[in-house]
Amino acid sequence: MKPDPIAERLGKIAIPQVSNEAHKRRLKLALLDARRSAWWGTLLIALPALFLTAVFLQYGLGVGPFFDPLERFIFAPIRHSGVRWLEPLLLFVLPLIAFVVNLLSVTHFSMTPGRDEFVVTVAVKRRWWNWIVVGLSGMIVAVIFLYAVKGDR
């Protein structure tokens, strides 16, 4: 069968190839990375947040149905497990990681070199769940840090 000349012609045209890496990176950040960091951040601060809430209820308001079970079933076994770094890891290091990762996922810094100065632009993204995680994890880190410093004196 004789090939269709119009089909042959279309089959031979040079197709323009384009690349849009900037948009690809930007869109991926919006689609996946911020949501993922909020989810991981929530997991990382869940236990310390529960612990601090129980401490506040017990020693601040005198309401104590939560602190004893938490202490008995989670923190006492951790403390007596022989792994000394496990408790600071759970209460300080993991919330610190949640804080840093979520803060980075909702802020963007760019620096443009000018003739006599550098122009630094800080863009902040309104992803509320990330900001809630940033706030809570920052608070947990600050409270645990202050407690540790005060406790040493």
Partner 1 sequence: MANDEPLHTSARSNTPEAFGSLYEQYYSQIFGYVYRRILHWETAQDIAAEVFLKAYKSFWRFRWSSIPIGAWFYRIATNEVNMFFRVGKHRRDVSLTELLDKEGFDAPDARTTESEKANAERELQRSQDFLLVQAQVRALPAKYQDVIALRYFEGKSVREIGEILGKGEGTIKSLLSRGLEKIRKKLPLDATE
Cβ closer to partner 1: 72 or 125?
125
Environment class of 68 (CB within 10 Å of its CB; exposed 0-12, middle 13-18, buried 19+) = exposed
Using the contact rule CB under 8 A, the part of the chain among 20-28, 65-73, 91-99, 132-140 near partner 1 is: 20-28
Q: Which of 1, 3, 21, 80 binds partner 1 (CB under 8 A)?
A: 21
Instruction: Please report how many Cα atoms fall inside a 13 Å half-sphere around the Cα of residue 72, on the Cβ side.
Output: 5
| Chain centroid offset of residue 127 CA | 11
Asked if 120 interacts with partner 1 (CB under 8 A), we say no
Q: Which of 1, 2, 13, 73 binds partner 1 (CB under 8 A)?
A: 13
Q: Is 62 helix (H, G, I), strand (E, B) or coil?
A: coil
Least distance from partner 1 to the Cβ atom of residue 101, Å: 15
